[in-house]
Amino acid sequence: MDDLEFVHKFIKGDIPTREEFHKHYSRLIYNYIHHVLTVKGLESHQDSIDDIYQGFFVFIMEEDCKRLKSFKAKNGCTFATWIRQLTINFTRDYLRKLKPAFSIDSETDDNLSLKDTLKDGSLSVSEILSIDETMKVLDYCIELLSLEDKYFIELNFNQRIGLETLKDFFSLSRGAIDMRRARIIKRLRDCFKSKGF
């Protein structure tokens, strides 16, 4: 299958093609993002790499895969070369939109830093232990889910990708994606109840 046919099958929602895309291009995309951050002197920002990586997948899925539809394989351009350039441009745009960070120690005109101004909101030892126990149970319950349900949780809950975007990504109707989310939440709740929560 040539690159153009591959992209068309991906856009149409062909599951094996989407899995192949992730298998063959995920590492390349991640490396391109890391390269741009290294050039910008930001290579140590793992959270930024992960945010950009997830944002890129949302970006290519938006508006019924509008960006992917623009790939035409002209002048011998391979999909790998095209996706490389798209990733680099997306990463640069993402970095331009970020507001410059400020130091928590920088002082205002009244010689107070943000750190000095903030109140101590520390949790008590019992609260920390309770949170730690809850997180262990949550990790256990998530491990019981299928790989696809874990992936759904990562995208929807951790990366905060909306259901409207996910329905296109998983090639499901809105009703089916809502049902999947409800089913996953019910499984997690049942697991928590079985552990005494």
Residue 115, class by beta-carbon neighbours within 10 Å (0-12 exposed, 13-18 middle, 19+ buried)? exposed
pLDDT at 102: 47
pLDDT in tens, 32-87: 888 888 887 776 567 778 888 889 989 998 888 899 899 888 888 899 889 999 99
User: Would you say 165 and 62 are in contact if contact means Cβ atoms under 8 Å apart?
Assistant: yes
Structure confidence by residue, pLDDT tens digits, 140-168: 888 888 888 888 888 888 778 888 888 88
- Residue whose pair of structure tokens reads 């005109």 in the numeric block: 109
Look up residue 189 and give its two tokens. 């709740």
Fold of 3-97: Rna Polymerase Sigma Factor; Chain: A (1.10.1740)
Listed as own residue / partner, the contacts of 92-97 with beta carbons closer than 8 Å and 24 or more positions apart are 92/36, 94/51, 94/52, 94/55, 95/36, 95/37, 95/40, 95/42
Single-letter amino acid, residue 11: I
Q: Bigger pLDDT: 163 or 1?
A: 163
Element (H, E) at 180: helix 174-194
CB atoms within 10 A of CB 11: 19
pLDDT surpasses 90 at 5? yes
Which residues have CB under 8 Å from 56's CB, separation 6+? 29, 33, 87, 90, 91
Note whether 163 and 174 are within 8 A (CB): yes
The model's pTM is 0.50
CB atoms within 10 A of CB 168: 17
In the chain, where does the domain assigned CATH 1.10.10.10 lie? 124-194
Amino acid at 54: Q
The pLDDT assigned to 138 comes to 83
Distance from C-alpha of 93 to C-alpha of 14, rounded to nearest angstrom: 29
Percent of the chain with pLDDT over 90: 16
Q: Which CATH architecture has domain 124-194?
A: Orthogonal Bundle (1.10)
Residue 52: partners with Cβ closer than 8 Å, 6 or more residues away: 33, 37, 90, 91, 94
